[in-house]
Amino acid sequence: MTDQPVKEMSFEDAMRELEGVVGQLERGDVPLEESIKLYERGALLKKRCESKLKEAEEKVAKLTLDGDGQPTGTTPLDG
Amino acid sequence: MDLIDDPEQAGNAPEFTVSEISGAVKRSIEGEFGFVRVKGEVGRVSRPRSGHVYLDLKDDRAVLSGIIWKGRAEGLLTQPEEGMEVVATGKLTTFPGQSKYQMIIEDIAPAGVGALMAMLDKRKKALEAEGLFAAERKSALPYLPDVIGVITSPSGAVIRDILHRLRDRFPRKVLVWPVAVQGQQCAPDVARAIAGFNAMTVGGSLPRPDLLIVARGGGSIEDLWGFNEEIVVRAVAASGIPLISAVGHETDTTLIDYVSDKRAPTPTAAAELAVPVRMELLAWVGDQEARLTRALTGGIAARGQRLRDLNRALPKPDMLVEQARQRLDYWDEKLDVALRGVVQKRGLRLTQVTGSLRPALLAARLDRAREQAGAQGARLAPALGRVVRERLREFTRLAPRLRADGVTQMMTQRAEALDNWTGRLARAGTAQEHGRRTRLDALDRLRETLGYRETLKRGYAVVRGDGDVVTGVKAATQASTIEIEFADGRYDLSGKTPKPIKAKKDAPPDQGNLF
């Protein structure tokens, strides 16, 4: 377990830890109380992963550039 | 424009003949372009019977005539063909007869591939030596980027392919930086775009991407050349944002592919490298959740089972005390032995202690006891006297009651009875005695008749040795004294040695008894 709060975790970190938690729990060599803590941690991580997956949002924009080739803003772009 | 009509243009300018001017141009051209390399596409090629090769070199705006003299043409490694990109080496000259200038080609070689590649190879080696392509410089792509910066042409198939594939897999925020993907502007545009994305701030109005894709569709090596430029390579190397290169088709390799963190064979593939598949991840998360729950419940169930198993495996209470019991038995036995040992030891100690017991000690106690006994004895006599006096008193009290009358009377009666019985006894005794006397006399007479004395009268004698009757010679010789009894007395033969005679002459004393 890392000390990082689950809510601040990237999807990848949460995913990696969730995988670790599941593996640890499945090995069955964790004391009962620890395994309940692990389960609770796993549930949090799973929630985090799910919320990150729900953030899927498509937003495509094209940069507008000035005469020097520097970005000045965006315009929508159709895929 | 008519020069002759312009009077001011006449003047001092020398007049050339056509030949003169043609000659001057020829000298000028041959002097200036005595040795040139010209790159171009081979146009029309003609091979007249003379053996010389006539051809056109061209690009999109100009045409240059060329001649390969017969002697050179035969020695060429590559024979020119129409459409071929070549680099021709030779000199320029004029052909005054037709007002033409043309190139005398000494050598001709394929352009692009060879020449460009040679140059590319040199550049690649230099950059590689700098370590720009080293594997340890490459950073890992984020698993799920929030914002993806795409550097490509805003129009065309490439951006559409990328956006479509991103939408299929995992819709994300995409910023497109439009650039020229070929031509002179390509390399500076791309380099500026990479640096520009890196200059953005995270979460700003223009959010800094956490992944860049540089993409271009397929094209000739010349089309892709911008992505070989050093300026692009250095921009990619300097990028703090992980970058995927997807330039040309899979077979086209440009220098940006060496320096990028990941090379995708196509723009579509770049999109696949950029994001995971959302649905798969959702399924994965669901799977993880199921495994999590299963593992926990399974773990609890396994523990329950283990508990039950252990409970079954718990030894019986009897078995637990068995060993203790055995030990008890063992020590119990030992205790007996130990006790005997202790008793023996104590016994020994006792004899040691009693050894010190002295008779004097006992005697002292005996004396004390004797003193006590004496005291008691002294009290004994008076006590006895008291008892005797008591008995005497009792006796004197009873004595007067004892009368002689009764006794005297009883004595008289008994005396009379005695007399009576005495008389009767006397009478009976006399009568009985008389009878017995009579009978005794008769018997005595009979005895006299039958006795050996009567026999003696008839001449027999009884011999006695030492007082006893002797009936044989042997006894007679052993006797010290011999007596012979006759009817009228005894005759002693002491001191006379009787002559032994035949025994049959002697008759035993009782021989005559006829009973």
What ipTM was assigned to the predicted interfaces of this complex? 0.82
B304 touches chain A (CB under 8 A): no
Domain spans in chain B, listed from the N-terminal domain onward: 7-111, 121-276, 277-322+393-450, 453-511
Give the pLDDT band of residue B381 (cuts 50, 70, 90). Answer: confident
pTM of the predicted model, to two decimals? 0.49
Chain A: closest CA distance from residue B173 (Å):
5
Residue B484 has pLDDT above 60, yes or no: yes
- Give the nearest chain B residue to A48 (CA atoms): B285
- Domain B121-276 class in CATH: alpha beta
At B148 the pLDDT is 94
Higher pLDDT, B250 or B21: B21
As a whole number, mean pLDDT of residues B279-287 equals 90
Closest partner CB to A22 (pick from B175, B288, B303): B288
At which residue do the structure tokens 């009567």 appear? B454
Partners of A36 on chain B (C-beta within 8 Å) are 296
Cβ atoms of residues B143 and B170 within 8 Å: no
Chain A: closest CA distance from residue B151 (Å):
10
Structural tokens at position B411: 């004595």
Residues of chain B with pLDDT > 70: what percent? 92
- DSSP code for A69: S
Chain A: closest CA distance from residue B277 (Å):
10
- Domain B7-111 class in CATH: mainly beta
- Report the SS3 class of residue A18: helix
Cβ atoms of residues B102 and B119 within 8 Å: no
Question: Helix-strand-coil percent breakdown of chain B, rounded to 5?
Answer: 55, 15, 30
B173-178 and B100-110 beta bridge pairing: unpaired
Q: How many CA atoms lie within 13 A of B390 on its CB side?
A: 6
Cβ atoms of residues B472 and B505 within 8 Å: no
Q: How many CA atoms lie within 13 A of B50 on its CB side?
A: 9
At B9 the pLDDT is 57
Per-window interface: A 32-61 vs B, CB < 8 A: 32, 35-36, 38-39, 42-43, 46, 49-50, 52-53, 56-61
B180 touches chain A (CB under 8 A): no
Partners of B278 on chain A (C-beta within 8 Å) are 53, 56
